[in-house]
Every structure is written in C-alpha cells, then in structure tokens.
Chain A
Amino acid sequence: MNELLVFICGFIAVAIKQGTPLLFGSTGEILTEKSGNLNLGIPGIMYMGGVSGVIGAFFYEKAVGAGELNPVWGVLIPLIAALIGAALLALVYSFLTITLRANQNVTGLALTTFGVGIGDFFGGSLAQLFGEGGSLSVKRSSTLFRSTLPFAEDWGAIGELFFSYGFLVYLAVVLALVAAFILRRTRIGLNLRAVGENPATADAAGINVTRYKYAATVVGGAIAGLGGLYYIMDYAYGTWSDGSFGDRGWLAIALVIFALWKPKVGILGSFLFGALYVLPAYIHYGENRMVQYFVMMLPYVVTIVVLVITSMRKKREHQPPESLGLPYFREER
C-alpha cells in the first residue's frame, strides 16, 4: 500500500515537472488568444525564452569565473534574460500582426522558425563562438533553479508530491491562477476578453484595442518564455541539447484548446498532458515501445476530440474567442 502511494506520488511529481513548460506556454497563449491573436509563434518564443535564459546564465557564470554564484543574481539574470528575449519576439509578432496587420498564421509560423533557429543556434554554437567547445551547459546556475524547500526530502512521498520542485513550478501555477483571476475578476480582464470577442464593440466602448492586443501578446509571450527557461534550467539540468525541447510548444497550443481557454483548467490539463508524456517511460521498453508512442499521440488526439465536440455542441462559452485570427481595422466595416 505504502509502496503504491510512493509510486503514485512519484509519478504525479514527474508528471507535474513534465507539465510545467506546457503550463507556462498555455497560460501565455491563453492571454494572447483572449486578445484575438492566434500566436503560432509560441513554440519559437518558448525556445527563445529558454536560450535567452541560458545565455544570461552563461555570461553570469563566465563573469563570476570559478567563484561562488550569488544566488539572487544567479536566478534573476537568467529569469530577466528569458523574459526579455521572449517578450522581444512576441513584440515582433505584435508589430507585424497588429500594426502591420499581417496574416497571423504566417507570422506565427515564421516566428517559430526564427525562434527555434535562434534557440538551436545559440544553444549549439554559443560555447563554440567563445572557443569553449562542447554543448552549452550552465550546471551551476541550474542548481539554483533546482533547489527545493529544505524539508522536501524529510516528508517522504508527500514531500515529493508537494515540495520537490524548483520555484518555477510554483510560479507556473501561481501565474495561471493570477491569469484566471485577471480574466474573470478585473476590469482589465473584461476589457481584454471584449477585445478578443468583438473588437469593434470594445472600440466603441472606448477601449484601446491596439494597446490591449500588444500588452496581452507581449506579456503572454514573456510568460510562455518562462516555459522554455524552466525546461532548460530545471528539467534539463542546465544543459542544452539539440531538439530536446521537442514539440512542447505545440503541446502548449493544444493545451489551450483542451483547457477551453481557461487558465485554471490549463493547470490540470498540463499535469494530465505531462502524465501522458512520461507514461511511456513507465511502460517497459521492448515490445511495448509502440504503445509508448501511441500514448504520446494521445494529447493531440484528445485535443482534436475536444475541438470537435465543442464545435458540435456549439456552447458559446467553450468556443475560441470570436475574433481569433482576424486583424482589426477600424475603418473596415
């Protein structure tokens, strides 16, 4: 019995760790989509956040040399670098789609190409550019991101379930809750939702549509960027390896649909997707490897099913924001 409990707690803990990047990504994308912008550049932005964080850590570690890292700077520098890197890329998207009214799909995909390119390039070549060779690794900074509460280990399975995470995991949950609160309970949230649903009405009500779209997209991008940061600094022990981030960005977009654009549902959804992602590791290798990959297909299949069912039931609350993907131009009737 006790062993089972330990096993379950352990599994859930791994699922949560696996789900955290998706949670950051989906929270960011929900905020973005609530403003009517379908940002398919999120995968690129997450890469960008990750690589910016690593670069920040890399230079800080270089600057400190062999000495001890200051824990505050060691965390803050990568964190801020990731936020800025991701926000900058989201700003490019915003400028192209909001100010220049470019097609959102095309812009988003271009952004992903670019962001993934930047990520892989600097992740793969930064050490080379500085003549150090090998892959980019910031292990010392990573320990700061991975440090857990001191009593996590003393409390056994419960400790593992609740306290075995780096601070970014808690931040992901908190951000999702804050996003949910803002969307549901504040004037800013109301205005933002109005912009995404019906920008003409929002405009008529005196809401600055452009400003809201910019703000939501840039803030959403920055949050998504933290997903990349968490992955590399915490989950991957600070070592960049080519392509290991994989399709997590697209999973985050799938999660938005799965969560029906609700950040709180996104929390549970991210843990579920995380569980599906790690489940294969718990299924034994060998003949069952096919099953393993089938399981990894599930998040996407489930998302499609959710998408189809919601469109069949036509329940308005569960539909994408009405103006999602459409540019807003006041003088066009």
Chain B
Amino acid sequence: MSQAIKKHHEPLIHITKRDQMVWWKGWLIRAIAILAALVVSGGVIMLLTGLNPISVYAEMVDGNFGSSRKLWMLLQKTAILLCIALAVTPAFKMKFWNCGGEGQTLAGCIAAAACMIHLGDSMPGWLLILVTFVMSVCAGALWGVIPAFFKARYNTNETLFTLMMNYVAIQLVEVLEVLWENPKNSGTVGVINRNSQAGWLPDLFGQRYLLNILIVAAVCILVYVYLKHSKQGYEVSVVGESQNTARYVGIDVKKVIVRTMIVSGAICGLAGFLLVSGTGHTIGPNTVGGQGFTAMMVSWMAKFNPIVMILTSGLIIFLQQGATAIATTFRLHDSLADIVTGIILFFIIGCEFFIQYQIHFRRSRKEGVEK
C-alpha cells in the first residue's frame, strides 16, 4: 500500500483534562504555588522597601503575632472573612455565581445599625441583640433572594445582577448615613450607642472578639454539616453538578436556587451583624470594605470546603495584616496589602490549571497510539 499520508501538523503542546489527581498531589501543587507567591510578594516588598528577605517575613510575622492585640485582630478579621466566604459557598456549589457577598453583608449591617439606633432605648439589651440578629439575617437573605428569584424565573444573569446589588447597598448606606449622622454634619454615623452600649455583643472572658470568633466557628461547622450531611445540601450539589439529573430525580431546581440564595444571603447578613453589633458599632459604605469579593476567592481557593476555608481566609488575612504592618513601618500606603493579596491569588488561580489539566508535549506522545 502506498503511503500518501503525509504527517499532518500536530500542535507542539496538547492539553487534556485530567481524570483525577491523587489528592495529595493537588495540595502539593497548591502549596508550591503559595510558596512561590510568598517568594514573589516578598521580592516585591523587598524592592519597594529595601528590606532583606528575612526581615520582610519577620515583619509579616510580627505584624500578625507581635502582640496579643495583633493576634486577636488576625483572628477577628479571619472570622469575618471566613463568615462571608462560608455564606457564598452554598451558592457557588450550586454554580450560582453570587458576586453579591459585599451587598448582602452590607444589607445585614444596615439592618443591624437600624435596630441599634432606632430600638436602642425601647427594649432590654438581650432582646435588642436578638432582634438585631434576626433582622440582619433577614436583610441579608432578602438582598440575596432578589437576584435568585429572577434567576429562577427568567434566567437573569446572576453574576451581573448580584454585582449591581452591591452598589445599590453601598449607596443605600450613603443615604442612611445622612439620616443617622452623629454628630450632625460630621458625615459619619459615629459609634452607635456609645454610652449605653445597647445592641453591642458582650465581651466574653474579657475578650471583645471572642464571641464573634466562636459564632463564626459554629457557622463553619454548620455550613459544613449542611452541605455534606443535610438533604438540602445534597440537593444543592446535585443541582450544581447537573440540572438534568436534578430534574430526573424530581428536584425542583427553581426552589433549590431560591432556597440556597436565602441561606447564602442569611449568612452574609449574619456577617453584617457581627461587623456592626460585634465589632465596629458603626456603619459606613466601607464597613465591609471589599471583603465580599475577597470571600469569593477564599471560598473558591478552598474548593468550597468550609474547613479548608479556615486556612485560606487565615492566609489572606495574614498576608494583608503583614503587608499593612510593613507599609506602616515604612510610611507607605497600606494598599500594599492588596498588591500582595493579588499576587497570591494569581498564583493560586493559575496553579489550578496544573491540577485539572495535563500537558502533553509532542515528543512524549507515542506514535500511533491515539485515543
């Protein structure tokens, strides 16, 4: 038989989806990526400050663990970020791209502040806290369910809708700031109930943030159990994996979308409650400060696993606090923290490729063996 077949052009690199990587290899790749990110961000800081590499990391560690106050800040900030990350996770598992963590949390903040300001004198402290809590959770849920309703009903693009809802919430805070301004014409709300401390979450064992942290720890376990062991969580996974299968087994997909976003928004509302009632005792358009967005990345980096999220949120806050500390020492802008966060995110986002896909070079492919 004459061979008229000329070798046709084959690309140099051939990429295929991996079947599945051994779990430890995946985490090894991620660890390497984090390490590489630390090296790069350390290098960037070195260039900007002239610090030697060792002292960059020493400064970072000091910025987080240098004093008990710093340590408590680390834990507290991690808790809040973790809480929002936990909130967006059920939606993500359902492949509903909830980019509205910022707005949903802020909605919770608004409700909390409203309760504390307007109901501050009218009921006993414990009841006020309870009411504040419930209202915050409801407000967050409301902010989350609006886009979900339109997604379920009209298939409205949820990414864009939830994004816009963030800024509606931020502007709403601006409006309310005028209403709640204290003192007049200061442009800020100031500390709410400074004297009476009505609606403030109490200190626990003399620690201001301990209660916050415990609440988030409980939420973390609850979300883990909800997703892994509850029937509703199971439905979320099925809908996220395949809506076709969900219909086949009789799951009402629309109902699950709406219900899951209520859960998602409610936990965001809880984070808002912790921010206002438990931490800052004030409200402003920057109260959430972009953590709604960072939380999305925390959740995604942890592969939507609530327990791993403790690590990823801790890592982000560690870097941010560390970079801020360095920035303060060198009288640089504290957005150094954002740069460092950005770098580490790029590395982690990029490394997922090597976990999910396999790269074959032309040479390594055996002749004639094709699948």
Please list the residues of chain A having a beta carbon within 8 angstroms of any beta carbon in chain B.
38, 40, 92, 95-96, 99-103, 105-107, 109-121, 123-125, 128-129, 242, 247, 250-251, 253-254, 257, 289-290, 293-294, 296-297, 300-301, 303-304, 307-308, 311-312, 314, 320, 324-325, 329, 331-332
Separation of A301 and B172 alpha carbons in the complex (Å): 11
Contacts of B65 in A (CB 8 A): none
CB of B165 closer than 8 Å to a CB of A: yes
Q: Considering the complex of A and B, which 7 residue pairs feature the smallest CB-CB distances, nearest first?
A: A114-B342, A117-B338, A124-B333, A297-B171, A110-B345, A120-B335, A100-B353
CB within 8 Å of A: which B313-360 residues: 331-333, 335-343, 345-346, 349-350, 352-353, 356-357
Q: Considering only CB atoms, which chain A residue lies closest to B168 in the complex?
A: A300
Total residues of chain B contacting the partner, CB 8 A: 54
CB-based contact B168/A297 at 8 Å: yes
Contacts of A331 in B (CB 8 A): 15-17
Q: Which of A129, A307, A314 contacts B157 (CB 8 A)?
A: A307
Separation of A40 and B331 alpha carbons in the complex (Å): 31
What are 19 of the A-B contact pairs (CB < 8 Å)?
A40-B163, A92-B346, A96-B349, A105-B97, A106-B349, A110-B349, A114-B346, A117-B335, A117-B337, A118-B338, A121-B332, A125-B48, A250-B163, A294-B175, A300-B171, A307-B157, A312-B156, A331-B15, A332-B17
CB of B160 closer than 8 Å to a CB of A: yes
Contacts of A257 in B (CB 8 A): 160, 164
**Apart from A100-B353, A114-B339, A129-B48, what are 6 other A-B pairs with CB-CB below 8 Å?**
A100-B350, A101-B356, A101-B357, A293-B175, A311-B155, A312-B156
Contacts of B300 in A (CB 8 A): 103, 106
Q: How far is the CB of B142 from chain A (nearest CB, A)?
A: 15
Q: Which of A40, A101, A125 contacts B353 (CB 8 A)?
A: A101
Q: Considering only CB atoms, which chain A residue lies closest to B167 in the complex?
A: A300
Contacts of B17 in A (CB 8 A): 329, 331-332
Classify the interface of chain A: helix, strand, loop or mixed: helix
CB-based contact B168/A307 at 8 Å: no
Q: How far is the CB of B357 from chain A (nearest CB, A)?
A: 7
CB-based contact A311/B338 at 8 Å: no
Please choose the segment from B198-206, B235-243, B291-299 that sits at the chain A interface, where 4 or more of its residues have CB less than 8 A away: B291-299
Q: Considering only CB atoms, which chain A residue lies closest to B299 in the complex?
A: A106
Contact with A along B149-193 (1 / 0, CB 8 A): 010001111011101111110111011011100000000000000
Contacts of B156 in A (CB 8 A): 307-308, 311-312
CB-based contact A113/B341 at 8 Å: yes
CB-based contact A325/B159 at 8 Å: yes
Q: Considering only CB atoms, which chain B residue lies closest to A126 in the complex?
A: B333
CB-based contact B168/A102 at 8 Å: no
CB of B66 closer than 8 Å to a CB of A: no
Separation of A147 and B179 alpha carbons in the complex (Å): 41
Contacts of B342 in A (CB 8 A): 110-111, 113-115, 117-118
Contacts of A251 in B (CB 8 A): 167
Separation of A96 and B300 alpha carbons in the complex (Å): 15
CB-based contact A106/B339 at 8 Å: no
CB of B280 closer than 8 Å to a CB of A: no
CB-based contact A107/B349 at 8 Å: yes
Contacts of B177 in A (CB 8 A): 293
Contacts of A253 in B (CB 8 A): 160, 163
Separation of A118 and B159 alpha carbons in the complex (Å): 25
Contacts of A101 in B (CB 8 A): 353, 356-357
CB within 8 Å of A: which B5-61 residues: 15-17, 48
Contacts of A124 in B (CB 8 A): 332-333, 335
